[in-house]
Amino acid sequence: MGEDYQLQIEWLGHAAFRVKTGSGRVIYLDPYQIKDGEEKADIIVSSHSHGDHFSEGDIKKIMKDDTVVLGPESISSNLKKFDGQAIRLGDSFDYKDLSIQLIPSYNIKKANHPKSNGWAGTIIRSGGKSVYHAGDTERIPEMKELANKDITVALIPCGGTYTMGFDEATDSAVDIKPEIAVPMHNWGKDLNEFKELLNKKDPNIKVEILSDKLLKV
C-alpha cells in the first residue's frame, strides 16, 4: 500500500476532503454533508467555525473512540465538544507518520473571514509529500511564503461568494507554486474554466478536478 502513494486525496464536495497516508491513516478536512457509512477518521481537522466547515453532525458520523479532532485556537470552544485539540497558527501536530500544521486563512476585501478571527488553512505532510487546504480565504501574503515549502497539492477555494473567484484563486496558485492545484468550494461553477485560466498563467502547475476520482501522490 505504501509503495503506491504517500497521500491519497478524495474530494467529498464543498470544502470537504478525505486524505489517506500511505500507511492507511485517514484524515478528514472540513467534513460536511458526509454520507452515512463512510470510513471512520483517525484525525479530523476543521479550519473554522462556520457550519459548512465545523459540522457537528458530520464529525459525529465519522468519529470513533480514538479519533483526534483538531482546529485553530480560535475555535477551541467548539473543539471541546469532541475533546479536541486546539493548535496555535504556525504550530504543528505530529502524529506517527505525519504532521499537520495550521497557518492563517482569511479575507482581505470581504468581511466574513477577518484575519482577527484566527481561522486556519492546513498543511498535511507525510512521506515527503504535502497537501495544503487553504480554508475559506482570499489571496493573502502568506501564500507566497508557501512557494518555498514544497507543496505537492494545493486545495484552493474558488466560488467567489465568500472566498476567491477564479481569477484570484488562480493567482494564488501561482503564488503557492504547488505541483498540483485542486479547485474546491466552487458553488457549482464550471471548474474547467479554472483549469484553463491557470494553464495560461502557469502551465507548470497541473490542475486536477476531483469530482469523481482519487488523486494519489
**Which pTM value belongs to this model?**
0.94
Q: Measured between alpha carbons, how far is 215 from 69 in angstroms, rounded to an integer?
A: 24
- Exposed/middle/buried for 90, CB within 10 Å: 0-12, 13-18, 19+? exposed
Q: What is the mean pLDDT of residues 71-99?
A: 95
| 200 vs 164, more confident | 200
Q: What is the mean pLDDT of residues 193-212?
A: 95
**Residue 12, pLDDT above cutoff 60:** yes
Q: How does strand 180-184 pair with strand 206-207? A: parallel
The C-alpha cell at 99 is 504532521
Q: What are phi and psi of 21, to 5 degrees?
A: -85, 165
Cα Rg, the chain, nearest whole Å: 16
Q: DSSP letters along 89-128, please? A: TT-EEEETTEEEEEEE---SSSSSS-GGG--EEEEEEETT
Segment holding 175, helix H or strand E: helix 166-176
Model confidence band, residue 3 (pLDDT cutoffs 50, 70, 90): low
Predicted confidence (pLDDT) per residue in 19-50, tens digit: 999 999 999 999 999 999 999 999 999 998 88
For cell 474530494, the residue is: 11
Secondary structure (3-state) at 62: helix
Residues in Cβ contact with 62 at an 8 Å cutoff, skipping those fewer than 6 apart: 28, 31, 34, 38, 39, 40, 41, 44
Model confidence band, residue 1 (pLDDT cutoffs 50, 70, 90): very low
Model confidence band, residue 161 (pLDDT cutoffs 50, 70, 90): confident
**Cβ atoms 207, 199 nearer than 8 A:** yes
Q: CATH second-level architecture of 7-216? A: 4-Layer Sandwich (3.60)
Predicted local distance difference test score (pLDDT) of residue 94? 95
Q: Measured between alpha carbons, how far is 171 from 165 in angstroms, rounded to an integer?
A: 10
